[in-house]
Structure 1
Amino acid sequence: MLPADPRTLGATVTDGGTNFAIWSNAADAIELCLFNEVNGALVETRFAMSHRNGPIWHGYLAGVRPGQRYGYRVYGPWAPERGVRFNAAKLLIDPYTHVLDGQLSHVPEIYGHSALDATGDGDLSVRDDRDSASFVPYSVVSDHRVREVNRPLVPWAKTIIYEAHVQGITAKNSSIDENERGTYKGLGHPSTIAHLKSLGVTALELLPVAASVTEPAIYSRGRKNYWGYNSIAFSALNNDYACTDDPIKELQDSIDHLHNAGIEVILDVVYNHTAEGGVGGPTLSYKGIDNKAYYRNDGHGNYVDVTGCGNTFAASNPHSVRQIIDSLRWWIEVVGVDGFRFDLATALYTSSSAFNSSLMSAIEADSVLRNFKMIAEPWDMTRYALGDFPHPWREWNDAYRDSVRQ
C-alpha cells in the first residue's frame, strides 16, 4: 500500500482509488482486508497498513471503488485484566464507514474471548482464534458527498416535534406501496407528509437510524431489538429500513420532500455506548481496534458503565470527540438532517458539568454544528442534570412531561 492522506479518517474515494485511515494508538499492526467474490466464493485479500502518523494508520489502494467490501484486523497484546483485547482473528468494522453489508450472526465466533455459545458464555481470559469474518457485517466503500440542502429553518419558538420510528410511522399505511411501508422512502410519501401537516408538526424526530444489532441475550430469547439503541456504526444507516439498494439516497430524498413541506428532520443519536456490550460482549469494532482508548475503563479490565448497556463510549477523549463531530457533520451536510437528540447525554462527558465538557465545547465551537438544533436527554444511570446544558442546547424535561401526562 502507498501512503494515504492521514488527515481524513475512514475510506475516502479519489480519482484513481481509495484512501484508508484508522485511529489506534496501542495496536502493533493493522491489516486492511478486502472481500471480493471469485467463482461464487468470497475471497479475502489482506494488505499491511505500514504507514503511520502517530495513532493514525493509513494506506492508499489504486483501483478500489465504491461498493468494495472491507474490514480491519488489528494486532496487539491480549491482556484483558488490563483492558487490552486485541484479536486479529476478528474482522472489525471501520468506525467511519457509512455503509454496511450483511448481518451479524449470533455465534461464538464473534467474541474475542473463548466463547461456548452465542451469548458469549465461556472463558473471558482466553483469546479465541476462530475467524469471525463470515459472521459479521462488512464495511463498504461509499462516495456520498456534501450537498446543498434547502432547509425550512424553523425557529425554536415555533417548533413542534413529532417523535417516530422509521418502520412504525408507515408500517400500516395502506396509501403507500407495501414494499415501501416502514422504510426511509415511506417517510417522504405524500400521505406521511399530509398527516404530519394536519397535526401542525414542524419537525419529525426519528428514533435511531444508525446501524444497530440485537443484543445476544435478547436474541437468545427469540426476540429482536426494534428500537435501534444498540449501534455498531455511528454513521452508517440501518439497512433494515431501506427498500432500495442505496439507503443514503433514499433517506436524502425523503428529507428533501419533508423540507419542501416545511418540516425539519431531527435524529435521535446514540454515541454513549455501542453494541459490543460488556467485557463478555462481542468484538465487532472498537473493542478490537483499541479497547482502552475507545471505552471508559476502571484500570482493572472492567468497563465504567453509566449507560446500563455494558459499556460507555469514551466520548471525552480527543479522538472520540473528533469522530462524533465528524459523524454529526456527515449527518447534516451529506444526509441533510436539521438537528439531533442525544441519548443519555450526560454519559458523553466525565466532567462535573456540560459547561466544561470537551464534546459540548467542540459542538458549540464548530461553525456548522452550532447553527442546528441540539437536544440533550440530560441523565444517565448515575446522574440527573436537567438545566445543565449550555447554549445552543435544549433539553428533554421529563418532570414537565410527567406532569402533563398526569
Structure 2
Amino acid sequence: MPAPLDEPEEDLAIRIDASAGLRLPAPVDIRLVTRGDTAISFNAAMSSLMGNVRKDALERYWRGRFDFVMPESVDAQLDKASGEFVLTLKGKAEMDWDYSRYEVDGMRVGYSADFSRNDGPDKDAPFANSYPFFSRTVETIILPAGFTKTNVDGKAIDETVAGIEYHRQASLSGNVFTATRTLRSIASEFPASEAPAAEKRLKALADEALYLRIPATYRPSQAETDHRLTTFGDDAEGLRDRGIALLEMNRFKEALVDFDKALEADQDDVWIWANRGIAQFWLNDVAGAAQSFDRAEKLDANNQVLLRGRGMVAQRNNDMPGAIAAFRRSLEKDPADGFAHYWLAYALHGDGQLEEALIETDQAIKLAPKYVAPYTMRPNL
C-alpha cells in the first residue's frame, strides 16, 4: 500500500483582482498544476488536439469549472523535466456579490454523503476511499479598500473524517484576501462502524461555506452601478432582480417598469409583487402599493419585503400600532435588515415609544451605516 501523498496531484491557484470595484469585470488568472496519474491523463487527452480544437477543448474545460469567467487566453503544457501538466486561464470574472456577499471559490468541504447499505453479507465491510489522493486550492482576491477581518465569514476547518483530511483557512492582509483548502486521503478505506457518524459530519461540513461580505461602508462607483444593470437577464427573474437593483439606487420609475415586465411572464413570484409595491409606495401610489401587497400576501404572507411594505403603508396611514407589528414581523424574518429597523424606529417614535425608538435607530445605524435617515432621526429621540 503506497503512503499518503506529500504533494497535491491537483494544485489550483486562483487570483482575482477586484480592486477597481466589486461588480466590475475583474482580471483573473487561474493556474492548475497536475502531477502523477492526473498529469498523465491530462497529457494523453490533450496531446492529440491542435490549434482551435485544442483551444476550444480548454475553454470548455474551464467553463465547466468557472462559468463566471470570460476567457481571454488558455494554455496547457507538459513540463518534461518535472512531469507536471499545467493548464492556465486568463480572463475577466463577473463575481456574484448578490446578497452583499461572495462565496469564495473552491472552498467547500464535505458533501452529501450516503453510506447506507442493504442488508447482506457485505453490509459491515469497510468503505473504500479514493487513495492516494491530494488536492489543494488557493484563492487570492485583491479587494477594494475597506474590508476587514469582520468581513470574512466562515470557519477554519482542520479535521479528518472517513479517512480524508480536510483543511481550510483564510486570512486578510491589507486588501489582499487569501484562502486555502486541502483534501487528502490518508487511508484507503474506513470501517463501516464509522459510517453513520461520518455521513452526518460530512453533510454538516458541506454547509460550511466561506464568504466575503461587502463592508457596510462600501460605496460602488458609477461605473460599477452602470455595469451591474447590464448583467441581468431578460426573463422574469432577471427583470425582477434588475428592478430590485434599481430600487436600491432610488430609481423607482425604472424599477416599476421592470417589475411590470416581469409580471407579464410570471404572476406567481411573491418577490416581484412585494418589491413592486415598494416602488409604488415611493412613487406616492399608496393605493397601488397596497394592491400589490395584497397579491404578494396570497403567495406568501410571511415574505419580509411584503411585511416591511405593509408597515410603510400603515405608517403613511398613521396606523402606528399596525406599522410596528408589521415591521417586527419583518425583522423576525430578516433581523439584519437595517432599513426595517429604521422604519420600526420611525413608527415607535410616532407612537411615543422613544426609548425603544432609540434602540432601533442605533441598530439601523449599525446595520446600514450608509442610510442617512437614522442619523437625522437620532437627535430627536
TM-score (norm 2): 0.27
TM-score (norm 1): 0.26
Pick the structure with more helix per residue: 2
